[in-house]
Chain A
Amino acid sequence: MPATALMQETEAAMVSSATQQQAIASLTNVTKRYGATIALDGLNLALRPGEVVALLGPNGAGKSTAVRLLLGLIAPTAGKARVFGGDPQNPASRLRVGAMLQVARIPETLRVREHIDLFRSYYPKPLSMAEVVRVAQLEGIEDKMFSRLSGGQKQRVLFGLAMCGDPDLVFLDEPTVGMDIESRRGLWQQIRTLANRGKTVLLTTHYLEEADALAHRIVVINKGKIVSEGTPAEIKSVSAGRKIRCRTRLTAEFLYTLPGVTNVERSSDDVVVMTPQAEEVVREMLLRDETLCNLEIASPALEDAFLALTASR
């Protein structure tokens, strides 16, 4: 008997540690086809409790399709979507989920307060109006008509609507599109607060910078497939690094000998150098060429990161 009891105990312990890691939401080998086009191609994605995952990819990569599958708005052609252990198309799972989707236009002749009031009514235990207003930074615009809001304010209202039910799982589909820098930083802060409160967040974006700033884990997808997956640092190291642009007398042959330089291009009078070790390369270039001017250093556009990520395989 004691042996069996011990076995049961260890088994229970194993199960509980396994469930700690159990995904709160997952796509298992999911393919989604629209007619002849394949939006997702055998995608595997698991969100563990409390993590912020960024789904990074260019337009048409399948990011929104993944979110819509996890929200149960569409069904997979093949594979399985699961949220809280159940089918996301089951309406009950939506009580614990909040979603901020890309929407072209939301009814403009309602006030911010009225939109929130309506969405709060859908939940048995909603956040208070004051709390939603605070979380989404809507102070001072509660009584404005939606049509009077700026692009960033509109996005914040959509975020507020997603927060009405105090969700455990939050989907943010391109949340900062159309936001000015200040609003964007504000929303980033709110997303960090969500993570600190133990909420699980799936964020789609085509800004590498945004994924880098917010996510514990980045999943890069393109054409419906995972191209790369890892922590922000891992992702950046395999991408093309940064772009140095300047006017210099240094030759391309020399530049290629500097640390990590993957590419050198001349565009009109300027030279564009790609390297992950931008600081070292710039230091060296400035030492070698006193006439160097018009210096700019930029993080790669995502398209460049993609070229690097996809070319490497």
Chain B
Amino acid sequence: MSTPAIAYPASQPLGIAHMSRILGKETKYEFLKLMRNRSFSLAVIGFPIMFYLLFGVSNRDTNSNGIHMARYLLGGYACFGLIGAALFGIGVGLAGERAAGWLEVKRASPMPPAAYLFAKCMGAITFGLIIVGILTVIALTMGGVTLTGIEVVKMFGLSIVGSISFASMGFLLALLVPANAAPGIVNLIYLPMSFVSGLWIPIQYLPHWLQRIAPALPTYHLAQLMLGIFGYANQSSVASHWYGLAGFTLVMLGTSWLVFNRAQQNA
């Protein structure tokens, strides 16, 4: 006779319709929140565009070693932009929401945790696509760059893959870094990594010792895949870059999982 009068909440799984409604709303509001946060949206969209105008468009007539500078830098700044959106949007954004206690309010609600991560990821992808889209338009109209339809489609596809990959690094940073130090730390990682991987100037122009470090960086592998679309990749095989990027993503996700679980146990 131990049937409790107070009914257990039925632990039925969420219906697909309900789950997709949550995912939709969570994503929509994540995007609106980031877009209206001008210190984020202006910087993350503005910097790659400004750099591309300064170094890419101004070099529309520069061809050296078989590289058309404006075309090369379209690939470089596309990577630079989408990585920035993922690291700042997720790394800094999530660290802030965690420190402010907002994440806890969300966790105390019936929100499925996957919806939160999904929305963060979609936010990064959307901003990545916006940046790559604007850069492409600038390249085509002002940079004297010609692209085939296939190249454009490949660029956008790779942009999505790159956003997801660096979103994983954003998650790890958000778990490790104190919120007030997050923007600084993200910059300290993001800017040197971008430079060494040849996102700002063709990697061939960098000192040799830097060129040797580059293959250890995930940004390098993404950049090589992107430049491969334009025929500017180094000699190394395409597969090695895919492995590099996939391995990096898995390490980031795995470490995030470990850190998260350890934090849960200590909580």
Binding site for B on A (CB under 8 A): 11-12, 15-16, 19-20, 22, 24, 34, 49, 68, 71, 73-75, 84-86, 90-97, 99, 101-110, 114, 117-119, 121-124, 145, 158, 161, 165, 171
Contact = CB atoms under 8 A, between A and B. Distances in A.
Interface string B2-42: 01111111111000001001100110010011001100000
A105 B96 CA distance: 9
B250 to A, nearest CB: 27
B14 to A, nearest CB: 8
B22 A71 contact: no
A171 B5 CA distance: 22
Contacts of A49: 6
B54 interface: no
B185 to A, nearest CB: 20
A124 B9 CA distance: 13
Interface of B: 1, 3-12, 18, 21-22, 25-26, 29, 32-33, 36-37, 96-97, 99-102, 104-105, 107-112, 266-267
A19 B4 contact: yes
A109 B75 CA distance: 32
Nearest to B5: A19
B32 A124 contact: no
A69 B26 CA distance: 26
Contact of B101 (A12, A92, A101): A101
Contacts of A94: 108-110
Nearest to A99: B108
B20 to A, nearest CB: 10
Contact of A122 (B12, B36, B110): B110
Contact of B5 (A22, A34, A124, A165): A22
A103 B5 contact: no
B102 A107 contact: yes
A149 to B, nearest CB: 15
B6 A107 contact: no
Given A11-B1, A85-B6, A117-B25, A107 B108 contact: no
A109 B5 contact: no
B174 to A, nearest CB: 15
B21 A15 contact: no
Contacts of B104: 68, 73, 101, 103
A93 B4 CA distance: 15
Nearest to A107: B33
Contacts of B107: 73
A124 B1 contact: no
Nearest to B102: A106
A237 B24 CA distance: 55
Contacts of B11: 90-92
Given A22-B6, A74-B267, 7 more contacts: A91-B112, A99-B109, A103-B101, A105-B100, A106-B102, A107-B102, A114-B29
A121 B112 CA distance: 11
